[in-house]
Amino acid sequence: MKPKLETLAIHAGSEIDAATAAVTSPIHLSTTFERNADGSFPHGYIYTRSHNPNRAALEQCITALEGGEASAAFSSGSAAASAVFRALEPGDHAIIPDDMYWGIRKLLKQVFVPWGLELSEVDMSKLDEVKAHIKANTRLVWIETPSNPMLKITDIAGVVKLAKSVGAKVACDNTWTPPGMQPVFALGADMVMHASTKYLAGHSDVLGGTLTSREADAFWERIVFVQKNEGAVPSPFDCWLTLRGIKTLPYRMRGHVENAEAIAHFLAEHPKVERVAYPGLKSHPNHEVAKEQMSSFGAMLSVLLKGGEGAAMEVAAALKLFTRATSLGGVESLIEHRASIEGPDSKTPKNLLRVSVGLEHKDDLIADLEQALNKV
């Protein structure tokens, strides 16, 4: 029997240290590794930019959790995403969602497009729109579902079918849906990316990114080449912290999701709330697709306030337990006025607050939201 997620999260990539019998793995800071007299490398490690034992352990673990053939760890989620686009050729066409993590979209537009990437931004919650943008030179479709910050849902299997008609790869940014929540390989996608900064590491104290590929094919080899030769890799300590975080990931996610569902329902019924974007609510336009492809609806939600930007700012200011800060996926609840961090080009509604629901007790979180909403 294949071990279940909880078991893999604790054991995959973790071994008793052969040299000392330490149960918790040591951190290997050495940048270089000794050769044998015959020139060979007895443990397969040469130089830490290309290989490091802590990174290998993290990559082994994430491969086991996602179920692909190989993984590569990076120094940030953005560096991981960048490596995928770097593996394309100038003149290749990529499709991205019209709602997605703004930092990656900015990077693509400001750096990759001037270098020859052809880019289309598409409402991926509508398969017809994706179909209309598929071209003979489409090489990559980048999915983010639920999307950041509007929680739009993409039918992954539907997009895969369209992409495959021209031989394009499909990569999913699964940062908001940690392993076990959205099986993108089973739905036909080729690659899964995580900003491990978020739920995987889980404690808002380490930056990182991972990519996992269903097949270790030629496209994957190009990505690994970029990883090893550019060196945007996590430090051994970053890998160790992330692997430690992953050990509790399945249990943390249960708490995150339970709290998020309760908060989404509370907010959806509140008279001062215009709309809650959360795929677990029946009112979500793609609730049925989400139900089909997700085993739970995640712990991120956005709330749009009646009373515009002023009301949103007042609620954020009045909260005591929720911290006003960017990022997500840590044990503490965070709230953020997205439009102001995304800047003047942002299409995010000004009355929107994005919430990363943490692991405090849900009653305390709801009481905090209630007192803040009462002040508006």
Ligand X SMILES: Cc1ncc(COP(=O)(O)O)c(C=O)c1O
Kindly list the catalytic residues. Answer: 49, 101, 173, 198
- The residues that bridge with 138 in the sheet, in sequence order, are 93
- For ligand X, the closer of residues 144 and 368 by Cβ is 144
- Residue whose CB is less far from ligand X, 79 or 134: 79
**For residues 284, 324, 108 and 93, what is the CA-based torsion angle, rounded to 10 degrees?**
-10
What is the per-residue binding string for ligand X in 314-353, x denoting contact by CB under 6 A? -------------x--------------------------
74 binds ligand X (CB under 6 A): no
CB of 364 to ligand X, least distance (A): 25
Q: How far apart are CA 297 and CA 175, in angstroms?
A: 13
Instruction: Considering only residues 91 through 110, tell me which ones interact with ligand X, judged by CB under 6 A.
Output: 101, 103-104
Whole-number minimum distance, CB 197 to ligand X, in Å?
A: 4
The residue type of 364 is D
State how far the Cα of 14 lies from the Cα of 29, in Å rounded to an integer.
17
What are the residues whose beta carbons fall under 8 Å from the beta carbon of 344, sequence distance 6 or more? none
Contact between 197 and ligand X by CB under 6 A: the answer reads yes
Edge-to-edge order in the sheet of strand 118-122: 70-74, 209-213, 191-194, 169-173, 138-144, 93-97, 118-122
- Candidates 14, 71, 78, 154: give the one binding ligand X (CB under 6 A): 78
* Nearest in space to 44 (alpha carbons), one of 22, 65, 28: 28
C-beta closer to ligand X: residue 149 or 158: 149
- Closest approach, Cβ 179 to ligand X, in A, equals 15
Dist CA 355 CA 301 (whole Å): 5
Contact 213, 191 (CB under 8 A): yes
List the one residue from 13, 146, 180, 209 that touches ligand X (CB under 6 A). Answer: 209
CB of 198 to ligand X, least distance (A): 6
Opening angle at CA 281, ends 275 and 286, nearest 5: 95
Minimal distance in Å, beta carbon 289 to ligand X? 18
Q: How far is CA 219 from the centre of its chain?
A: 21
- Our CB check for ligand X shows the closer of 134 and 279 to be 279
Map residue 355 onto helix, strand or coil: strand
Please select the residue that binds ligand X; options are 25, 76, 212, 213, rule is CB under 6 A.
76
Distance CA 319, CA 16 (A): 45
Residue with Cβ nearer ligand X (14 or 198): 198
- Is 213 an interacting residue with respect to ligand X (CB under 6 A)? no
Binding of ligand X by 277 (CB under 6 A): no
Query: Does 235 engage in binding with ligand X (CB under 6 A)?
Result: no
Using rule CB under 6 A, residue 188 touches ligand X = no
Please give the C-alpha separations between residue 89 and each of 166, 211, 343, 363, in angstroms, as whole numbers: 16, 19, 30, 51
Q: Which of 66, 99, 144, 238 binds ligand X (CB under 6 A)?
A: 144
* Residue 206 engages ligand X in binding (rule: CB under 6 A): no
Q: Kindly state the smallest distance separating residue 194's Cβ from ligand X, in Å.
A: 8
Angle at the Cα of 331 (from 58 to 263), degrees rounded to 5? 130
- The residue with its CB nearest to ligand X is 77
Smallest separation (angstroms) from ligand X to the CB of 106: 11
Rounded CA separation 107/319 (Å): 33
Interface with ligand X includes 77 (CB under 6 A)? yes
Cα 138 to Cα 89, 92, 162, 360, distances in angstroms: 11, 6, 11, 44
CA distances from 284 to 268, 300, 328 (A): 11, 14, 21
**Site for ligand X contains 261 (CB under 6 A):** no
Taking CB under 6 A as the criterion, the residue among 145, 175, 227, 348 binding ligand X is 175
Binding residues for ligand X, total number by CB under 6 A:
16
Please tell me whether residue 207 binds ligand X under the rule CB under 6 A.
yes
Residues that bind ligand X (CB under 6 A): 76-78, 101, 103-104, 144, 148, 173, 175-176, 195, 197, 207, 209, 327
